[in-house]
Structure 1
Amino acid sequence: MLDFSWKVFSMTGNLDTYLLMKELERDFGEQFGQDDMEETETLDAPTH
């Protein structure tokens, strides 16, 4: 869901979509712990 929200935001620039993505990230971090969230961000980071 985070990936989808980011793709929609990057294509449209819709601020509500960005805020939704940040809320989902926060909820995901609370549910699975901050360490898991940081690992996920590292795996999703662009490599260019």
Structure 2
Amino acid sequence: MLEFTWKVFADTGNIDTYLLFKELERDRRQDRYEREEDPADADFSIT
């Protein structure tokens, strides 16, 4: 989806498409960050 949105922006120059691209990019980074945190939480235990 990210690549498609970028291609549409590159072809049209539509600012709304660019803003959608940036939002999707941010969400993708946030999802990746949250997945990386989960294993660390499982390894950490309070005794």
TM bracket (short chain): 0.5 to 0.7
Q: Compute the RMSD of aligned alpha carbons.
A: 0.4
Once residues 19 and 28 of structure 2 are traced to their aligned partners in structure 1, the CA distance between those partners, rounded to angstroms, is 14
Structure 2 residue 28 is the aligned partner of structure 1 residue 28: yes
- Report percent identity of matched pairs: 64
Alignment of 1:36-47 (within 5 A): none
The CA distance in 2 between the partners of 1:30 and 1:9, in whole Å, is 22
Q: Mind listing any 5+ residue stretches in structure 1 that lack a counterpart?
A: 34-48
TM value normalised by structure 2: 0.68
Question: What TM-score does the superposition give when structure 1 sets the normalisation length?
Answer: 0.66
Count of matched residue pairs? 33
Task: Letter of the 1:14 partner, please give it.
Answer: N
Segments of 5+ residues of structure 2 without an aligned counterpart are 34-47
Q: Which has the larger radius of gyration?
A: 2
Q: Which residue of 2 aligns with 1:14?
A: 14
Higher relative contact order (Cα pairs below 8 Å, separated by 6+ residues) = 2
